[in-house]
């Protein structure tokens, strides 16, 4: 098992090295004009990214805000292409768990607007978005409801799920940028990683153990 893992790591490293070599060779073959064009293109991309981030911040992205009601919700939907809206009730304890995770993700993913709406104070909006279970997270893209996270069923069906699980589930809708594996829930990946680590320790432990019954002592 250990040899297989080492071989996989070696193969991955070789693949990355090969890709870097290809990129270096491609750049070496470029003329000065081509390099200048590439540099200007990258500078323009960075400027556009900075401008976009500033627009997001100006529209309240980066913070997890409570919206006062339906009017404010519609105003936000006009300014933000991606909205993560948590519909809650004060009496529902699980809503506090959702608040905890969304506060963290709001700061990490400024490309989306994270907010919360009191379902009892916004009956028209709650009915329009067909919110029936609390908590429910409505994910809106370009003024259209793209997805729903209803309760904790998609989050492992447990209260102690990780923020990474919430991030992964929201990313399924395409409303936030995500560099991880969308096919594997992070909590599951972590368990598999820990299991593999335990197996490696057991293998190493057996390799280091000695069998005293095979040792002969002579005077």
190 within some domain: no
Is the pTM above the cut of 0.85? no
| Domain of 103, in residue numbers | 59-171
Per-residue pLDDT tens listing for the chain (219 residues) = 556 555 666 666 677 777 766 666 666 666 777 777 777 788 877 887 888 889 999 989 999 999 988 999 999 999 999 999 999 999 999 999 999 999 999 999 999 999 999 999 999 999 999 999 999 999 999 989 999 999 999 999 999 999 999 999 999 999 999 988 888 888 776 776 666 666 666 666 666 664 544 434 344
Return the HEC string of 35-92: HHHHHHHHHHHHHHHHHHHHHHHHCCCCCEEECCCHHHHHHHHHHCCEEEEEEECCCC
The DSSP call for residue 133 is: S
> What are the backbone dihedrals phi and psi of residue 202, each rounded to the nearest 5 degrees, phi first?
-65, -40
133 within some domain: yes
178 within some domain: no
200 within some domain: no
Neighbours of 93 (CB within 10 A): 10
185 within some domain: no
Tokens describing residue 207: 């390799």
Torsion sign (Cα): 68, 118, 64, 139? negative
Total structural domains within the chain: 1
183 within some domain: no
32 within some domain: no
> What are the backbone dihedrals phi and psi of residue 139, each rounded to the nearest 5 degrees, phi first?
-110, 115
Task: Give the CATH number of the domain where residue 140 resides.
Answer: 3.40.30.10
Q: Are 90 and 58 contacting, i.e. CB atoms less than 8 angstroms apart?
A: no
Q: Which residues of 26-64 are buried (b: 16+ CB within 10 A; e: fewer)?
A: eeeeeeeeeeeeeeeeeeeeeeeeeeeeeebeeebbbeb
């Amino acid at each position: 098992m250990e040899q297989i893992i080492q071989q996989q790591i070696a193969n991955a490293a070789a693949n990355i090295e090969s890709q870097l070599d290809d990129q270096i060779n491609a750049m070496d073959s470029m003329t000065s004009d081509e390099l200048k064009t590439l540099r200007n293109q990258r500078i323009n991309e960075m400027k556009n990214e900075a401008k976009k981030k500033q627009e997001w911040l100006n529209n309240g992205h980066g913070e997890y805000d409570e919206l006062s009601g339906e009017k404010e919700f519609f105003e936000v939907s006009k300014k933000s292409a991606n909205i993560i809206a948590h519909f809650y009730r004060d009496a529902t304890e699980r809503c506090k768990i959702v608040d905890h995770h969304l506060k963290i993700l709001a700061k990490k993913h400024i490309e989306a607007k994270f907010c919360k709406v009191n379902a009892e104070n916004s009956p028209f909006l709650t009915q329009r978005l067909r919110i029936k279970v609390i908590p429910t997270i409505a994910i809106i893209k370009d003024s259209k409801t793209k997805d729903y996270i209803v309760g904790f069923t998609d989050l492992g069906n447990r209260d102690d799920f990780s923020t990474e699980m919430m991030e992964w589930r929201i990313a399924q809708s395409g409303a936030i940028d995500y560099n991880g594996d969308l096919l594997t829930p992070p909590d599951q990946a972590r368990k598999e990683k820990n299991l593999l680590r335990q197996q490696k320790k057991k293998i190493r432990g057996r390799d280091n153990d000695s069998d005293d019954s095979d040792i002969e002592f002579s005077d």
